[in-house]
Chains A and B, each alone.
Chain A
Amino acid sequence: MDSSAWGLLLQGAWTTAWISAVSIALGVVLGLIIALIRLARLPFIHQLLGTYISMARATPLVTLVLFIFLSGPTFGINLDRNVAAIMALTLNTTAFNAEIWRSAFNNFSNDQREAAMAVGMTPWTYFRRIMLPQTVITSLPNLVNEMSFLVKGSPAIAVIGIVDLTRVTNRISAVTYDPLPPILAAALLYMAIIGFLVWGQRIAERKANRLAM
């Protein structure tokens, strides 16, 4: 493997990294919003979102990516590959994040709510000042864990022709006729990305334990 092969690999790693990062950012926020809506238990929407979460958690990423990318044109929308990939990853990770947020909200102690009501806080102030900061810290380890799952699932976007860190190994071996070194190098780069996330998760866990709730 020469320097141009490494350059291609790094490009692939960059593609994987930015698509995953955008989906993670969207997924965490959307997950929070869905968890909040489900918390309100609106009659019809609650079941609808529950079905979405159950389905999205059961659908393989590859299937979801293909579904979105191929059926986009039937609705008359021509999706860009990257947009389709981000949509699929986001739909998938949002469902998992929504469950993480929801369990954090459900496990939140009721005493604090009563105390906040007693000192005259409105529900919104209570949520903004007391509930949210604590649930962010308690659910952070699980959220980071889900992020590393997303990175591990991200090779699925290769199926619609995005040259990510997995797919790029094919490109390199098409030139060098030796697929083993680029695959191993890609494995190393993945380990670096996911190792970084695991390290972040450990720090988040330490922070969460210090809060000790």
Chain B
Amino acid sequence: MSNWEILWSSRDVFWQGFGNTVTIFVISAIAAFLLGSLLVFMMEGARPRLKKPLRIFIDGMRMLPFLILAYLFYYGLPSLEIRLSAWQAGVSALILYHGAYFAEILRGSRVTLSSGQEEAATALGFSRPSMFIRIILPQLVLRTRGVMGNQLIILLKDTAFLVIITVRELTAAANSLSSTYFIPMEAFIVVIGFYWAISLMLEQSIRLLGRLGEKRGFSNA
């Protein structure tokens, strides 16, 4: 059997790894986006008490490598009697880490939004949360879609770090196949192809989002 045939016969392993990577990616992308939006919402308002601690949290995250946070959750938390499985630790680290980045991206665009809209919305009787969800957030998302797309690709690439804390994702699949059959090159080429395909799909959907944005008059982003 040639090396490629061996890989084809063990395609289940790849599919499982691919499925796991996509699941982890989707869950943490959605949760991180929600966390980021929540952080931005909590940082605005007339007298936000939380502004300073949140600022420190976001800046702290931006100066840490992702793997250190994953280590902290997986190896460090058991000292405080909190035990997470590798999967839980990995996903919660991804959410917390990228939530901070999403918050920073959204905040950067938030400060350039004109205050006239807010005043108009307040005059029309919008409450602060509903104004944020219906007026501010959609604009921020459409404006920052390019940077957001890059961040999503970074998030996808960070899922590969989870192989180090023993999560069974795509890179782990290639690693175990390559050590079982000793065909490292082919196994990793397949996996790199998978990652590439996901990234290209992400880029494409960002482009589609851009077209939607242009229809609504956000060609400047």
Contact = CB atoms under 8 A, between A and B. Distances in A.
Contacts of A54: 196, 200
Contacts of A170: 75
Interface stretch (B63-71, B88-96, B136-144): B63-71
A62 B161 contact: yes
Contact of B184 (A62, A74, A153): A74
A69 B171 CA distance: 14
Interface in B70-115: 71-72, 75-76, 78-80
A140 B49 CA distance: 37
Nearest to B79: A180
Contacts of A156: 67, 160-161
A152 B153 contact: no
Contacts of B64: 152, 187, 190-191, 194
Contacts, number: 121
B43 interface: no
B65 A66 contact: no
A198 B72 contact: no
A180 B71 CA distance: 9
B68 A62 contact: no
A59 B170 CA distance: 12
B191 A63 contact: yes
Nearest to A173: B75
Tell me what chain A mostly uses at the interface: helix, strand, loop, or mixed: helix
Tell me what chain B mostly uses at the interface: helix, strand, loop, or mixed: helix
Contact of B161 (A67, A155, A179, A190): A155
Q: Which of A63, A169, A178, A187 has the most chain B CB within a 10 Å cutoff? A: A63
A66 B171 CA distance: 9
Contact of A190 (B68, B174, B175): B68
B38 interface: no
Contact of B188 (A57, A70, A179, A195): A70
B158 A67 contact: no
B67 A61 contact: no
Contacts of B163: 62, 159
A60 interface: yes
Nearest to A153: B65
A5 to B, nearest CB: 15
Nearest to B21: A60
A1 interface: no
Interface in A74-106: 74
Contacts of A195: 63
A205 to B, nearest CB: 15
B199 interface: yes
A154 interface: yes
A159 B68 CA distance: 13
Contacts of B42: none
B175 A66 contact: yes
A63 B68 contact: no
A141 B189 CA distance: 33
Nearest to B161: A62
Given A60-B158, A187-B72, A191-B60, A158 B67 contact: yes
19 contacts: A54-B196, A54-B200, A55-B192, A57-B153, A60-B158, A62-B171, A63-B191, A71-B184, A74-B185, A152-B66, A155-B65, A156-B160, A179-B71, A179-B78, A180-B76, A187-B64, A191-B63, A195-B63, A198-B63
Interface of B: 60, 63-68, 71-72, 75-76, 78-80, 153, 156-161, 163-164, 170-171, 174-175, 178, 184-185, 188-189, 191-192, 195-196, 198-200
Give the 6 A-B CB pairs with smallest separation, nearest first. A60-B160, A70-B184, A58-B199, A71-B185, A67-B188, A155-B67
Interface of A: 54-55, 57-64, 66-67, 70-71, 74, 151-156, 158-159, 166, 169-170, 173, 178-180, 183-184, 186-187, 190-191, 194-195, 198
